[in-house]
Amino acid sequence: MTQKNNDDSTYRSSSYFKYMIFILILVQMLDTYTGFYNTVIPSKVVEEFLSDYSQNVANSIFAFCIAIASLGSYVAFLVWYSADRIGRKFLLVVTIFGLALSSLGILFSRSIVEYTIYRFVLTIFAASDIWLIYINEESPPEKKAMWTNIVLMGGVIGAVLMPVFRVIFIYEGAPVGAWRGMTYFSIALGIPLGILVAFTIKETSKFQEVKQNRPSTKEKTNMMKKNLQTIFKSDRRMAYIVILFTVFIWAMNYIFLTLGELFISQSPNLREGDINIVVTLMSLAVIAGFGVTAILADKIGRKPLLYLYCSLFFIGSILVITGVEMPGIALIIVCLGTSMMNLAFWGLWVLLSIITIELIPTDSRGTGTGLRGIISAIGQTLGLILAGTITYFYSLNVAFLLFGILILIPMPLIYKFVTETKGIDLSEIK
């Protein structure tokens, strides 16, 4: 693949594109690992910091703490908006260093308050996903989903390493606080990777083209207002609004990832070794989700997969909720349910991210994607607050059941309002 534009500064050779893909895989590996390792240690964090409380109260406090940490996703909107003003590369470097340094903070946390603060900082950068704009702006139109999922599937090595490190650091009889070892990988990878990106990766060609066509400082000052007007006055605005609503519902169900390990760890039918098996299969399911999306999104389209993933997530949630109560077969049912949920959840994330980018013009793409991030953050925060409240008065079972049902609501709206975006050329979006 070679791209040649009128300006030499936007020239991208085939060898550079391959190198960029390799670097983005490492970035996604870091992003995936930092995004996941906190989802497999809640029971250990609760054990260390909240052991003086009853189970329901401790679970509720932890849910509220994660709700506070999820506010970092709101700040991530500024990262996306800055990507339209400053550029993609600078923000990519910032997010890489941010993931590494916030993990360092989690490593040295000595209370639930400190853990929440550094989890908040990590959320800012984990929610940024600047690499996603990179791959979509540098890939040929007919292969955007393919290259996006190649990066995701390569980066999912981070998810594979997560259960490996969990087995090493968390096991029957492991000392309290052993979960801190889960931060080592993100620290060791993030710092050198940030330096490498800063010195070897170029700004995206499409951003350079847009930047060259900006005539005045005044126009830059009014950029956010202009970008939002562009998005919500376009012919695709209803499709974009429905996607935002779907993102909101999807994000509310993030409680299954943030509190799922805590939920299954408290089952009398599962031991620590069983939890490690579940975590391993969850990681493999993430790979399967990216793989299925990579193969089918450009073939059958985005919309059929949206229907499939919403249905699978709901079925998986029911299996997990009922499976933990089944002596003898709890491990099998929970493995099946969590695998279905993770495949569907991350498949939805890929599709919603790609569709968002495919609905918005280049000069407003960072802003529109950032708005998606804000909606996702609101969904996560509200979901965790509601889950914490429901758990305090009832249990996590009830909270999971109610949220699992919600994922079915967007399906008729997707059918009616969302246009198929398979194969669209990003340069032609107006």
Structure letter (DSSP) for residue 6: S
- Written as six digits, the tokens of 253 are 């169900």
Ordered alpha helix ranges (H), 297-410: 302-323, 330-359, 365-393, 396-406
Residue 195's pLDDT is 93
Q: What is the pLDDT of residue 240?
A: 84
pLDDT confidence of residue 1: 45
Residue 217: its pLDDT value, please? 46
Could you give the C-alpha distances from 126 to 38, 51, 342, in angstroms and in order? Answer: 12, 28, 18
Question: What pLDDT score was predicted for residue 50?
Answer: 92
CA atoms within 13 A on the CB side of 325: 5
pLDDT (0 to 100) of residue 2: 45
Token pair for residue 23? 């670097």
pLDDT tens for each residue of the chain, 430 residues long: 444 444 445 556 778 888 988 999 999 899 889 878 888 888 889 989 998 888 889 989 998 998 899 888 777 767 766 776 777 888 889 889 999 999 999 999 999 999 999 999 998 888 777 777 777 777 776 676 678 778 877 887 887 888 889 888 988 777 888 899 999 999 999 999 999 999 998 887 777 766 666 555 445 446 667 767 666 766 677 888 899 999 999 999 988 888 888 888 888 888 888 888 888 888 888 778 877 887 787 788 788 889 999 999 999 999 999 998 888 898 999 999 999 999 999 889 888 888 887 877 666 666 777 778 788 888 988 988 998 899 888 888 888 889 989 999 999 999 888 877 666 655 555 5
55-69 and 365-393 helices cross at what angle (nearest 10)?
170
Instruction: Give the pLDDT score at 12.
Output: 67
Report the alpha-carbon distance of residue 348 to residue 353 in Å, rounded.
8
CB distance 246 to 410 below 8 Å? yes
Q: Residue 8 has what pLDDT?
A: 47
Reading the block at residue 348, the tokens are: 């939805």
Distance CA 391, CA 389 (A): 5
What is the end-to-end Cα distance of the chain in Å, rounded? 26
Q: Which residues pair with 12 in a beta bridge?
A: 3
Give the domain ranges of the chain. 23-207+222-428
Query: For position 111, what pLDDT does the model report?
Result: 93
Residues in the chain: 430
For residues 417 and 303, the answer to whether their CB atoms sit within 8 Å is no
Topology of the domain comprising 23-207+222-428: Growth Hormone; Chain: A; (1.20.1250)
pTM, two decimals, is 0.70
Looking at residue 180, what is its pLDDT? 93
pLDDT of residue 212: 63
User: In the 8-state DSSP scheme, what is residue 142?
Assistant: G
Q: What is residue 105's predicted lDDT score, i.e. its pLDDT? A: 95
CA distance 322 to 369: 36
Cα dist from 276 to 15, 25, 40, 155, 171, whole Å: 40, 25, 9, 21, 8
Per-residue model confidence (pLDDT) at position 370: 73
Q: Answer for the pair 204, 134: CB distance below 8 angstroms, yes or no.
A: yes
Structure tokens belonging to residue 416: 């009616």
At 235 the pLDDT is: 67
Q: What is the DSSP letter of 143?
A: G
Distance CA 195, CA 144 (A): 27
pLDDT at 162: 84
